Structure 1
């Protein structure tokens, strides 16, 4: 995890299908339709656990936490043996038995539990092959995962999928199928197995390969505890002057929208709160791999406040090994160290800031199961009398800035649009012309949209010649010419906005015209 992985962004689209969901209730099957929503079982408490690199030197004494924020750890990383692809190892250097003998790992884990701490195990990471990449036999892969889970008696596992592991489609399918079988197997036996995916993030959210990974797990039938976003090494996706705390918040918000869309596409739409409970955030404390990016304690405090407000399910960090000031002999602070943060700080300063107010543990949350509850279709019907804006229509045309109501939510058009569903579950913001503003509030009444008086502009005529910036009305909508034209209908602006010489006026443009005419737009 010392790097966020390669960031790639391209189109990823699937057609939203109408899906019939079934749930076992009171000994019989109750059928939900595609409008059913899902929720996470009540009782989840957000938890904090920093990653601890098991094989890094100098060794980090996670078994003797001297601060409560370091009581719980995510042990990193279980990977494939470099020569025996189906053999689980710690960091490619120690088999499970060798780790017990040479690192005293098993004994240290017992000591951690005796001290009141807890641990989970993470598979993957940046620098080695995750088991599914090297182990091509599905049965052997499942056995390898089972061996780790049984050896360390964990109820929560984390899959940190990066780099080549993330781009390996076949390996990703093997991983998802194996994890689905193990989770089903353990739950059938009355045991718990919570599954987290840890994936590279940017300010636009998960990469396409990341969303593909989530979709693959959902399709395989894995009940994901959540998706943990690595908010680090943002590179070009970070705005100039933006702090890493601000960039991390943008990444988490974008990932929330993506995860919501992925569950909707899988036929199990979640409420906003339920999605936030499935979001994890993991910054890289102090100096990041990008030399100009430094995550400061103030960023940690900002991110913690955000997480508490939103109700995220998990907070982590890379790593507990690094949550201390570098010694005097470590002079090149812009080069990332495995054992210090690269900034002046108190010990466990980042863990304390990120863990504040998070009282849960991974073990207590491991038994939560995503279940479904029906939603009355009548609750999605929009009433014109109580809607502040016009109700969206597939046949309608909407200028940039126009607000509409759909399924009791208010949306604003980012550009001219017609026929685009406001709540279409897209994975990236630029795939939809609509921006969600928020729900319709109790007691709201219709707000009249701004319109231009008859005769403000002449009606478009096919034989007329129009100079640049000329304005006309076409089917009641005002348009402005982008260049000289004749016989070019404004109707083409919807199907070919770049090639058409016409662009519709935005709501802001209309309001400016009304102001020039001395007509107030205030209620």
Structure 2
């Protein structure tokens, strides 16, 4: 599965034997490469794998979506947030698609607040690490301890009880990184167990028509040999890049899942790890890429979704996902070539239907609860001194994407608006209101404050002065730059009206120095 690019689309106990194996795995990496094969050949002590709840969770491409695009889900639903990767190829710091650090995602995407909103509605989130693009943390970090610390930062930040490891291409083939990853996950599971909590772990792996690749099987072995209580293996039934014959994508997906079931049955037996009574079906998940796949001739249709869903239901698979919730809609008429994959639409005429609705039916369980109990945020009064964004006013204009606070919640403008109904007007449908509910005001929110510069950095704004494009002023400490000719227009309007105000807020720089007063003279 891809990650966005700009402009594109009840815990299980670990036996002492398995804990010892995890230590041996790490030692093997440090000692010498030739022992890798020997470690993979070891068998874990017999241990029952417990079948978890059968759940649906579509992937949501976090960096590809605007704040207002968080999918609406009902109670007892999950969203798999994708993808956390290394900040850079050799930087062991978690980021969302290399575009946002965790703190930047909070500031710019309001991600923490959006997660809180989902939980308010009875839904929950899973975090996915990896993806088809960029470097997975285990490949960027040098030790398993560093990997564990990076994963822990994300797990603790979003309070998740289930993680997804989406391993593809170089991230899948890097065996040394695989051992670091497995040892780190085993360490985190032990930590959670000591705290009386659970960390469920899913591997998401590419699959061919005849099942997992050798590299995928190696990753499963690494996890089991390292003492990881693996919740399940989720296969990506997409992008086969081979002759499909006269079979549909749904039929091929069924073949791939069936083959993987046989592989896991054999592997678990050889590793001496007991499957649940329901067999390998219970630890299997399946993730199709809805609509147009990356390969031009591969299209997963609504009929394919029905076929795959019925198969997964009949065999009681543990998980159903899809790539992606962002794409679950028909492309608009201005998108000229639907064979080119979009990260915002499926590329087929969905005739008003939803892939998520078809695939999720009957998958009513939930992944493991958050590692730390999440309570509903305490209502916070609308106070300009403490609110994270300006308080909404019917007399103020707001541009697309501008966020405001109203009655204890944050809203994002879907289009330019002035004087419309209150953001929380209950009588308006989604397409009638210019506002999208982002989430609650939280007790730890930093109060909103526009940028400021020292007095005298720029001339004070005067309503009688004529300003032309490029002129800089400051008002109550906040710097502004004129976008076009203006006189008498309050620069403060530029804080919320980015489209029609002649003023733009100027981001201060450490080297800002006082500027001369504009030479324009007052108009008569």
Q: TM-score range by the shorter chain?
A: 0.5 to 0.7
Conserved 8 A contact 1:50-1:70: no
Q: After the TM superposition, which residues 411-490 of structure 1 pair with which residues of structure 2 at under 5 Å, given as runs?
A: none
The yes-or-no answer on 1:335 pairing with 2:340 is yes
> Runs of 4 or more off by more than 4 Å in structure 1?
13-20, 57-60, 364-367
Cα deviation per residue 1:209-244 (whole Å; 9 max; x = unaligned)? Answer: 0000000000001000000000001222x5401100
Structure 1 SS opposite 2:368: helix
Cα deviation per residue 1:405-447 (whole Å; 9 max; x = unaligned)? Answer: xxxxxxxxxxxxxxxxxxxxxxxxxxxxxxxxxxxxxxxxxxx
The normalised TM-score by structure 2 is 0.61
Q: What's the offset of the Cα at 1:262?
A: 1.4
Q: What's the offset of the Cα at 1:341?
A: 0.1
The yes-or-no answer on 1:214 pairing with 2:220 is yes
Q: After the TM superposition, which residues 288-367 of structure 1 pair with which residues of structure 2 at under 5 Å, given as runs?
A: 288-346=293-351, 349-363=354-368
Q: 1:50 aligns with which of 58, 63, 69?
A: 58
1:135 aligns with 141
Say if 1:60 and 1:261 are closer, same or farther in 2 by CA, change over 3 A.
Answer: farther
Compute the RMSD of aligned alpha carbons. 2.7
Conserved 8 A contact 1:194-1:225: yes
1:40 aligns with 50
- Unaligned runs of 5+ residues in structure 1 are 4-12, 24-37, 368-523
Q: 2 CA distance for matches of 1:224 and 1:307?
A: 20
1:247 aligns with 252
1:2 aligns with 2
Q: What's the offset of the Cα at 1:164?
A: 0.5
The normalised TM-score by structure 1 is 0.61
Q: What's the offset of the Cα at 1:101?
A: 0.2
Cα deviation per residue 1:333-377 (whole Å; 9 max; x = unaligned)? Answer: 00100000000115561001100111101136999xxxxxxxxxx
Structure 2 SS opposite 1:363: coil
Conserved 8 A contact 1:227-1:279: yes
Q: After the TM superposition, which residues 45-444 of structure 1 pair with which residues of structure 2 at under 5 Å, given as runs?
A: 45-58=53-66, 61-62=69-70, 65=72, 68=74, 71-82=77-88, 85-236=91-242, 239-270=244-275, 273-346=278-351, 349-363=354-368
1:452 aligns with none
Q: 2 CA distance for matches of 1:15 and 1:98?
A: 40
Q: What's the offset of the Cα at 1:192?
A: 1.0
Q: What's the offset of the Cα at 1:17?
A: 8.3
Q: What's the offset of the Cα at 1:115?
A: 1.5
Say if 1:70 and 1:234 are closer, same or farther in 2 by CA, change over 3 A.
Answer: farther
Q: Compare 293-302 and 69-78 and name the one that shifted more.
A: 69-78
Structure 1 SS opposite 2:342: coil
2:487 aligns with none
Q: 2 CA distance for matches of 1:167 and 1:59?
A: 34
Q: What's the offset of the Cα at 1:138?
A: 2.5
